[in-house]
Structure 1
Amino acid sequence: MKTHYIIFSIFISVLLSCTSEKEIQVSKISIIPKPQQLEIGNDVFELTSKTTFSAPKEFEVATNFLNTFLSNGAGIELEATSENSTIVFKKDSLIVSEGYSLSVSKEGIEINSSDASGAFYAVQSLRQLLPPDLEQINLLPKKSIKIPVVKITDAPKFKYRGMHLDVSRHFFPKEFIKQYISHLSMLKMNTFHWHLTDDQGWRIEIKKHPRLTQHAAYRDSTLIGHYNDIPQHYKKERYGGFYTQEDIKEIVTYAAQLNITIIPEIEMPGHAQAAVSAYPELGCTGNQVPVASKWGVFENIYCPNQKTMTFLKDVLTETMELFPSEYIHIGGDEAPKKQWKNCAHCQQLIKKHNLKDEAGLQSWFIKEIETFVNSKGKKIIGWDEILEGGLAPNATVMSWRGTEGAVTAAKQGNDVILTPTSHAYFDYYQDDSYEEPLAIGGFLPLKKVYSFNPIPHELSKEEATHVLGAQGNIWTEYMPTTDQVEYMLFPRVLAMSEVVWSGPTKNVEKDYPNFLARVESFIQRLDVLHVNYANHLYDLESAIVKKNDSLLYKLKTHTEGKEIRYTLNKQEEKVYDTPILIIEDATIKAQVYKDNKPVGRVLNDTITYHKGLKANIQLNVEPHPAYSAGGKDALINGISGSNTRYGDKEWLGFWGDDLEIVITFPEPTKVSGISTRFYNANGQWIYSPYKGQIKLVSKGNNEFKADIEYEINPDSDKVSFEFDVSEENLTEAYKIILTIPNYGIIPEGLQGSGNPAWTFIDEIVIR
């Protein structure tokens, strides 16, 4: 379908003429996700208690939602009629699945679709044309509702449009789960991925194995603060909960009424300590272990013995009976193999089935589970670790550690769903303010979610057909309350919904301000719904730009019609209208103003004016896409990264790469010292390098070289590096070369064992 988008976020004034002219209140049209085509007229349709509707019976989900919404929000009950209806739903088999057309004229509303899903999504677009106050129950009925004349033709770009929620680390009540699902449906998402089991709690009732809810659903204490805190602190009280099978049936029915499919996740073979705690015979040691009270990865995984396989088939059978979804998610991620290596039964299985190693045993395990699930008419989804040792033939891969797993699986002919940490992990910080609530780490602002393209560039057109879509993930280690879940969800879910429905933007800088304008309008709806969203719409974006021989500091707001004011080194406040020249150390404060009033948070930047600012920098490898926001120049732009997190645009992250940094001066420069710092957060797989090398290269390629060993303080999450050039070695260098080896593979017994370590480096200050 050719995308033709006409005017979003536009104010329209219309006059409604009857026996006399009447002024209509200005209406702002703002639909998220953006329709493929939208045309706006210059009139309105007036919906009243006399408005009638007609629809095919198969469109009941759509008409029931519309009736309930209007009844609750406006006190207007629509009457169903067989002919001469004001609102008409029609079946059109030529429209693609889930697509629709919505036409609002002065005389009425017509909705066309080929299926019930398309009709429902048309109603969700119509909903966003209605006043936000209809989102709540209004005790005073409205006499009429004015709906702007529009014509919308729309269909989704991706088949799979999902959001995930982990209820194992923190448990949330049934009513909140339903509320979460209702938010997804408003945004034309069609899948809720429900993460129900993990080391810290088992949340689904399995009647054949009652100790899962009697014992595994509860832990004796819970980590508070961050995993990297030294020492760690715990809240020592029993915590947990679970959903009965009746709860789940109720939630599944509710979701179906909102056109949402629920995919349950039962983790295996790893993240199984809660289950092993309830039934020690499921593990390789047979030892009693507690339900985990802190976050991370644990060695107590399922042992692939007969008891375990019978148990898992029991669990999956009851789970599949509860969830009508064609998919069951079986996890497959972060399964340490230490116990398998020491287990005689596991080693016998490896020999019996001629497997290469423990990774091959995991592949065998997954294939056995897949065969069972397929026999029940279902398919499995697994995290990208299920690729290791050989992929099950019919499995769908959910790629989270990047896009590499998706590329590998798609090239093999398997379907894939993209959910990489770089763009889809909503448990990451969304702003670099110190006021943000505690999160696991990382940095995923709204703009980066909006820039996401779920189709990896390595795939051919044919291979790309295996990309079903994408989803955002919410892992709740650091979200103990429903308010905090909402805060991390909104508004980033708005961007994800647009990516998977409207398709990825082809020009972020051009399209993002338009998206933000619609978000600015949409939050009025969230206010009425009492959603606890994060409002960073008015945050400023700053950058150091090198132009000729000058250094310029630029500010940008992506919201239109606003003013920026700033102070430089505590001088008089000015209106920002041109980049600021930097000639010395500088402290800048800036803020957005709307209608002459400050909005959003104050931006504070401190710039260290050092000798590297006018140099050029080259890296032997690109930073990982998840941690590359500032690009290579972030290392010599004078601005240091956050003191409390590693994921902002000033910290650059490299996964498993040995790093060589070459800094070249425009002319020979006397260098007396160099400093930088590395992050050291082992719980997030981040390890400061323990050695490195520095070279100063002068004219004639004369080199001064020094090997460095870093002193790593286990009680600190950062490692500072200071190197002073002694008087006898002081030279005018034209080049500095820093060689920084990666820590290597994370040892067994530690978080992320078997994976390459991350290296994070901050500003390189040259004196």
Structure 2
Amino acid sequence: MKHTILGLLLCGSILLNAQSPAAFPIIPLPQKITPAAGQFVLSAETCIRFDLNNEQVALAANYFNQWLNSYAGFALPSSNKQEKNVIVLELNQSVKHPEGYHLQISPGQILIQAWQPVGLFYGIQSLMQLFPIEASAAINLAGVDIQDQPAFGYRGVMLDVGRYYFSPADVKTFIDMLARYKINRFHWHLTEDQGWRIEIKKYPKLQEVAAWRNETIVGHLNQGAERKFDGQKNGGFYTQEEVKDIVEYARKRFITVIPEIEMPGHAQAAIAAYPELGCLDKPIGVATFWGVSPNVFCPNEATFTFLENVLSEVMALFPSPYIHIGGDECPKVQWTTNATAQQIIKREKLKDEHELQSYFIRRMEKFLNQHGRQIIGWDEILEGGLAPNATVMSWRGTEGGIEAAKQGHNVIMTPTSYCYIDYYQSLHADEPLAIGGFLPLEKVYSYNPIPSELSPDQAKHILGAQANLWTEYIKDLSKLQYMTYPRAQALAEVTWSGEAKKNFADFTSRLMVHMERWKKEGVNFGNHLFDVKVQASSDGTGVKISASNPANQGTIKYVADGTMPAASSANVGTNLLLNQSGQYVFQSFMDGKPSGRSAKLDVSFHKAAGKKITLSTEPAPQYRGSGNGSVLNGVIGSNQRYNDAEWLGFAGKDVVAVIDLGKPTALKQVKLRFFNNPGQWVYAPKQVQVSWGKQEGSFGKVLSSRVEVGKDKIVSSNLNLKNAKARYLKLEFSNYGEIPAGAPGAGSRAWLFVDEIVVE
């Protein structure tokens, strides 16, 4: 093994804070757990006592018995007698929260009390999680007293079935896991540009045409690159009987199903079936690639009649007080040239197409309100004025939710940076294809749904939070589970347990018990607890390496020659200082054995590696890698994705970078790399400029170059400095600017992603 280490800033191994699994491994963590003496022994002789005349209490009891039968092979008989070995489900107003419960396990009796039947159901979920993974004829449950209630009333997960259809059985399996972790809202995204998934009897072409696309794009959409398609027809839809069955299935698990019918955008599939609903006087097909379609509902009377008829059938199927009407990502280009749209703007004295969208949403809200329902919409419904009774689902960050709450509207927080579980959950190269972004488990868990900008009265409008699973790159149940679990469990704890109760180390300790149970059940899940996360940073004192794993357990070892570390390898300190190029490999070890996936880091030193950099614009929080020095750490970013901690992402702004080389240095060239993927709103800069000087703040000759963009995602730009000598380099990157009409994100300013700045 070749050691290329200059030194350890702090010697010794990372002896992470190991913890034994929690004695009561309940997720989400209850508000109060008090161990008690003795234990309860459950067997086939145990009885269960509850009010047989209360249908909802019986639902909770029957749910437990069905689970127990699948777990242990027997169910419990019901009895109203004072049995010596009994589980008692009791409605009791001493529990003050409608979803709260009180669970007591003692010798001879398990008592679950709640104000409402839903509380009994949640008490049962906690009880089930205390059972050992392996069943036996006599099941010992330790004595405990648990008092519990949720921090938020809305605890949701969204499943998009518009991109890929999932069978009713798959949807039920998904609902089962939500119920287990006390998630009480299932947001069902049913319509999209790429497929309409719900049967509407008045409009049969929605089933015949809109539910099917002829083929599907392969991989990411990259404007300029040759698109490849799979050539396979794809689709499906849920009959109304299947919808009723799924809604009833969820009801029996105390979950409300909230349907989403998208409008006025994401409507291409519906328009393909009924062209008169669109703004173009020609037929179109169901979309075959991802992104935002310019084909949106035309705000004419035919459209409003269609949507009212659709929503009438939807309301008959879903008893939810809320109907989600989308309202997001609606390009308005076609409205600007559509005679009907322009007539409405004039007739209603609207300022522009943004207010026309508000008019559209308000009209649909009025219809739903007349039928006793309320709307939820994505935060774009704020544009042009918010519908009076709308609830806002804030996804483009927290700003929309903050604005809506300040206006007195109810809000469900679901920002991309914390709640989009279609993002990558690991930076390892072998992760399955995802839409982009990076959302590890620990970041989901760190989320606080209450923005600090809100006063206590305004914060009351934050109903809760929701995880969103968009399925552009998720075709089957196995990958659906992999992307969802355990991040959904992390958000379940965020919304149930509350900010004051959170402890990530304790959560991972409990989670490991659940993962063992999932393995036995055949659930596919993302286990990255012991995967090594390596970050290389630069602050002017050299290239520093930090290594950790999410579980914060074990020892991390490394080698510097590209081979796999062994138990005898060198231990990583808190920070490792490098001064030579090489391939470094890091591995977690538990009890002397490798655990989790290793991490590899190829470090190539150049004249600016490890030096200090100052940026005029801070990168977006979700794309700041190991800090500003990520672009001077000697590590080249991925050619396929910009979330690997090596790319710095800037939202819609120009960037000026000043590098201090420490002393006057002979310079030949600067090599730059940018990401370019318009399908994800990411554009290379229009121009780069470099200047240099020997004194801080004093720059002489300026060299500019336009950035040439081809079909590849990676755009390179090399600037020849012609043997200049300088201590300071100033680089200026001009943001692409506003995304053009017809492209995904049209009207928004582009993202700029910058990789390693190589100075030779």
Structure 1 counterpart of 2:89: 89
Q: Which moved more, 1:210-219 or 1:243-252?
A: 210-219
Structure 2 counterpart of 1:542: 534
Contact 1:49–1:76 under 8 Å retained in 2: yes
- Is residue 2:335 matched to residue 1:337? no
In structure 1, distance between residues paired with 2:544 and 2:286: 55
- Is residue 2:669 matched to residue 1:676? no
Matches within 5 A, 1:590-669: 590-669=586-665
Question: Cα gap change, 1:399/1:590 in structure 2, threshold over 3 Å: closer, same or farther?
Answer: same
Aligned pair partner of 2:60 in 43, 59, 62: 62
Structure 1 counterpart of 2:173: 179
- Is residue 2:131 matched to residue 1:130? yes
Q: Which amino acid aligns with 1:306?
A: E
Shift of 1:577: 4.8
* Ranges in structure 1 where 5+ consecutive residues have no aligned partner: 1-6, 13-27, 135-141
Question: Cα gap change, 1:765/1:598 in structure 2, threshold over 3 Å: closer, same or farther?
Answer: same
Shift of 1:42: 5.5
Matches within 5 A, 1:235-634: 235-504=230-499, 511-544=503-536, 549=541, 551-559=543-551, 561-570=553-562, 574-578=569-573, 579-634=575-630
Contact 1:422–1:627 under 8 Å retained in 2: no
Aligned pair partner of 2:687 in 688, 691, 694: 691
Question: Cα gap change, 1:700/1:269 in structure 2, threshold over 3 Å: closer, same or farther?
Answer: closer
Contact 2:538–2:632 under 8 Å retained in 1: no
Q: Which amino acid aligns with 1:197?
A: T
Shift of 1:550: 5.6
In structure 1, distance between residues paired with 2:571 and 2:435: 35
In structure 2, distance between residues paired with 1:548 and 1:236: 52
Q: Any idea what the Cα deviations from partners look like across 1:151-198, whole Å, max 9, x if unmatched?
A: 222111111111111111111110000000001111111111101011
In structure 1, distance between residues paired with 2:696 and 2:318: 72
Structure 2 counterpart of 1:100: 101
In structure 2, distance between residues paired with 1:300 and 1:700: 53
Q: Which amino acid aligns with 2:714?
A: K
Structure 2 counterpart of 1:22: none
2:700 aligns to what SS in structure 1?
A: strand
Shift of 1:547: 8.8
Q: Any idea what the Cα deviations from partners look like across 1:183-232, whole Å, max 9, x if unmatched?
A: 11111111111010111111101111111112111112222232228311
Question: Cα gap change, 1:557/1:45 in structure 2, threshold over 3 Å: closer, same or farther?
Answer: same
Contact 2:538–2:633 under 8 Å retained in 1: no
Structure 1 counterpart of 2:748: 755
Question: Cα gap change, 1:45/1:751 in structure 2, threshold over 3 Å: closer, same or farther?
Answer: same
Q: Any idea what the Cα deviations from partners look like across 1:537-575, whole Å, max 9, x if unmatched?
A: 211122346799565423223435523221113588514
Q: TM-score, structure 1 length as denominator?
A: 0.91
Contact 1:9–1:518 under 8 Å retained in 2: no
Question: Cα gap change, 1:589/1:417 in structure 2, threshold over 3 Å: closer, same or farther?
Answer: same
* Ranges in structure 2 where 5+ consecutive residues have no aligned partner: 1-16
Question: Cα gap change, 1:671/1:454 in structure 2, threshold over 3 Å: closer, same or farther?
Answer: farther
In structure 1, distance between residues paired with 2:663 and 2:97: 62
- Is residue 2:752 matched to residue 1:765? no
In structure 2, distance between residues paired with 1:167 and 1:379: 23
In structure 2, distance between residues paired with 1:559 and 1:214: 49
Question: Cα gap change, 1:700/1:395 in structure 2, threshold over 3 Å: closer, same or farther?
Answer: closer
In structure 1, distance between residues paired with 2:244 and 2:679: 37
Contact 2:101–2:147 under 8 Å retained in 1: yes
Question: Cα gap change, 1:678/1:150 in structure 2, threshold over 3 Å: closer, same or farther?
Answer: same
Shift of 1:518: 1.9
Contact 2:442–2:550 under 8 Å retained in 1: no
In structure 2, distance between residues paired with 1:402 and 1:563: 36
Structure 2 counterpart of 1:19: none
In structure 1, distance between residues paired with 2:358 and 2:540: 57
Contact 2:538–2:611 under 8 Å retained in 1: no
Q: Which moved more, 1:307-316 or 1:532-541?
A: 532-541
In structure 2, distance between residues paired with 1:560 and 1:235: 42
Question: Cα gap change, 1:575/1:30 in structure 2, threshold over 3 Å: closer, same or farther?
Answer: farther
1:612 aligns to what SS in structure 2?
A: coil
Q: TM-score, structure 2 length as denominator?
A: 0.92
Matches within 5 A, 1:3-22: 10=20
Name the structure, 1 or 2, with higher relative contact order (CA <8 Å, separation 6+).
Answer: 2
What is the root-mean-square deviation of aligned Cα atoms in Å? 2.2
In structure 2, distance between residues paired with 1:707 and 1:559: 48
In structure 2, distance between residues paired with 1:240 and 1:561: 44
Shift of 1:373: 0.6
Shift of 1:683: 0.4
Matches within 5 A, 1:69-218: 69-85=67-83, 86-93=86-93, 94-133=95-134, 142-218=136-212
Question: Cα gap change, 1:133/1:257 in structure 2, threshold over 3 Å: closer, same or farther?
Answer: farther
Question: Cα gap change, 1:29/1:455 in structure 2, threshold over 3 Å: closer, same or farther?
Answer: same
Shift of 1:11: 5.7
Q: Any idea what the Cα deviations from partners look like across 1:110-129, whole Å, max 9, x if unmatched?
A: 11221122111111111110
Shift of 1:756: 1.2
Question: Cα gap change, 1:581/1:624 in structure 2, threshold over 3 Å: closer, same or farther?
Answer: closer
Shift of 1:290: 0.7
Q: Any idea what the Cα deviations from partners look like across 1:430-488, whole Å, max 9, x if unmatched?
A: 11222111122221121221122222222222211111111111111111122111111
Aligned pair count? 733
Q: Which moved more, 1:460-469 or 1:190-199?
A: 460-469
Q: Which amino acid aligns with 2:142?
A: P
1:719 aligns to what SS in structure 2?
A: strand
Structure 1 counterpart of 2:43: 48
Shift of 1:703: 1.6
In structure 2, distance between residues paired with 1:501 and 1:673: 55
Aligned pair partner of 2:711 in 711, 715, 721: 715
2:151 aligns to what SS in structure 1?
A: coil
Contact 1:265–1:331 under 8 Å retained in 2: yes
Question: Cα gap change, 1:583/1:376 in structure 2, threshold over 3 Å: closer, same or farther?
Answer: same
Q: Which amino acid aligns with 2:673?
A: R
2:456 aligns to what SS in structure 1?
A: coil
Structure 2 counterpart of 1:21: none
Q: Any idea what the Cα deviations from partners look like across 1:723-744, whole Å, max 9, x if unmatched?
A: 23213xx2232x3322222111
What percentage of residue pairs aligned between the two structures are identical?
44
In structure 1, distance between residues paired with 2:577 and 2:321: 59
In structure 2, distance between residues paired with 1:546 and 1:683: 31
Structure 1 counterpart of 2:12: none
Q: Which moved more, 1:643-652 or 1:180-189?
A: 643-652
1:147 aligns to what SS in structure 2?
A: strand
1:480 aligns to what SS in structure 2?
A: coil
Q: Which amino acid aligns with 2:213?
A: R
Q: Any idea what the Cα deviations from partners look like across 1:375-433, whole Å, max 9, x if unmatched?
A: 11111011111111111011111111111111111111111111111111111111122
Q: Any idea what the Cα deviations from partners look like across 1:693-751, whole Å, max 9, x if unmatched?
A: 22323227542242432433321101123223213xx2232x33222221111111111
Shift of 1:9: 6.7
Contact 1:563–1:575 under 8 Å retained in 2: no
Q: Which amino acid aligns with 2:736?
A: Y
Shift of 1:10: 4.5
Shift of 1:640: 2.6
1:610 aligns to what SS in structure 2?
A: coil
